[in-house]
Amino acid sequence: MKQVRIVTDSVGDIPASLASELDIAVIPAQISFGKELYRDGVDLSPQEFLDKLAQSEELPKTAQPPVQDFALTYQRLLEEDPGCRIVSIHVPGNLSGIVNAAWAGAQMLPDPTLVEVVDSGQISMGMGWAVVEAARLAQAGASQAEVVQALQALLPRLRTVAMLDTLENLYKGGRISKISAAVGSALQIKPLLGVERGEILVLGKVRTRSRALKQLVALVSDWGTVAEMAVLHAGAEDLMHSLVEMLQAQFPLDRMVTGLAGSALTTHLGPGAVGVCALVAPDD
């Protein structure tokens, strides 16, 4: 019997093995290629998504899971552990409707107060590390209030930075103008983007991949001591390995999570992107 169960969405990019080990319920976002609809990570793996993306003439679209998916997941967990409560952690409300769908799903329960919905302010494993820490607390016997309190203290310590290889997806998704995309392509600009409290920040614009990776590593170094780190890629495994080598002086390789970014993130950042998501250590 658990006091607390943890729920999140697939945009957190938490490796399936880690989610299973920590008993994290992951609700898949939706990905559509034209009229074809897929559940992220269920009907379509990250590699299958990349394969379809390479063949597709149109940019896929992402959508939040149906509200009913949240309600059914919450109900199932409450039935599995009678008397438990739920902490549901999601991507920022100003970047996605997922957190609002989670709240609406909780309102469908006989007692909505059994579910505490938390906006992580982060994406990918930037959010994922918050979910992992919450799950570890839950396994240690923490109450819902204790988990939520710990999360509120932890959220400012989450970090995400990514290097984009192309501006095409941001342009097609309406994030930048056609002129900006054309100029960026002509100059081979590699933008560095970060996320802070739900806001997308431009941290740098560098002309080559090698320089961009060096600047990315410098940004990570500025974070100080890192407690947890993930290095992810969107169809750029060689770049990811190069980045991992450059980061090994800052974080032990045997504790570093590496792999493919999820479909939702790749849809917007485009193939060829690499990034680092971390939880920095608390101040002494």
Residue 156 to residues 7, 45, 58, 138, 197: CA-CA distances in angstroms?
A: 20, 31, 37, 20, 8
pLDDT at 198: 84
55 with 141, same domain? yes
Q: Are residues 99 and 181 in the same domain?
A: no
Query: Which residue reads 């989450």 in tokens?
Result: 158
Co-location of 210 and 147 in the same domain: no
* Stretch (H or E) spanning 63: strand 61-63
Task: Tell me the C-alpha distance between 197 and 94, whole Å.
Answer: 10
CA distance from start to end of the chain: 35
**Among 62, 109, 83, 19, CA closest to 117:** 109
- Tell me: do 149 and 8 sit in the same domain: yes
Confidence at residue 173, expressed as pLDDT on a 0 to 100 scale: 53
d(CA 153, CA 240): 30
Q: Distance between CA atoms of 253 and 73, rounded to whole angstroms?
A: 35
Mean pLDDT, consecutive 10-residue segments, the chain of 284 residues? 93 95 96 92 90 86 94 97 96 92 98 97 96 97 97 96 76 51 58 86 86 95 96 94 94 94 86 94 83
Same domain, 180 and 195: yes
Q: What is the pLDDT of residue 206?
A: 86
Are 164 and 77 members of one domain? no
Question: Are 163 and 126 members of one domain?
Answer: no
Cα dihedral: 143, 147, 150, 152 (round 10)? -130
| DSSP summary character for residue 261 | P
CATH number, residue 50: 3.40.50.10170
Q: What is the pLDDT of residues 49-67, one digit of tens each?
A: 999 988 888 888 889 999 9
Instruction: Kindly report, residue by residue over 94-151, the tens digit of the pLDDT.
Output: 888 999 999 999 999 999 999 999 999 999 999 999 999 999 999 999 999 999 999 9
Report which of 205, 267, 278, 268 is spatially closest to residue 243, judged by C-alpha positions.
Answer: 278
Last residue of a domain, one of 139, 156, 173: 156
Q: How high is the pLDDT of residue 269?
A: 82
Amino acid 183: pLDDT: 47
**Same domain assignment for residues 148 and 179:** no
- Domain end call among 156, 182, 217: 156
Say yes or no: 172 and 64 in one domain.
no
The secondary element (H helix, E strand) that includes residue 38 is: strand 36-39
Q: Which of 98, 126, 156 is the last residue of a domain?
A: 156
Distance CA 74, CA 78 (A): 6
Q: Report d(CA 200, CA 122) in Å as an integer.
A: 10
142 and 166, same structural domain?
no
Residues 18 and 55 grouped into a single domain: yes
Q: How far apart are CA 210 and CA 179, in angstroms?
A: 25
Specify whether the CB–CB gap between 161 and 193 falls below 8 A.
yes
CB atoms within 10 A of CB 134: 27
Q: How many domains does the chain contain in total?
A: 2
Task: Give the domain CATH number at 199.
Answer: 3.30.1180.10
CA 76-15-152 angle, 5° bins: 70
Q: What is the pLDDT of residue 182?
A: 46
Domain that holds residue 119: 4-156
* Pairing state between β 115-119 and 85-90: parallel
In a shared domain, residues 23 and 151:
yes
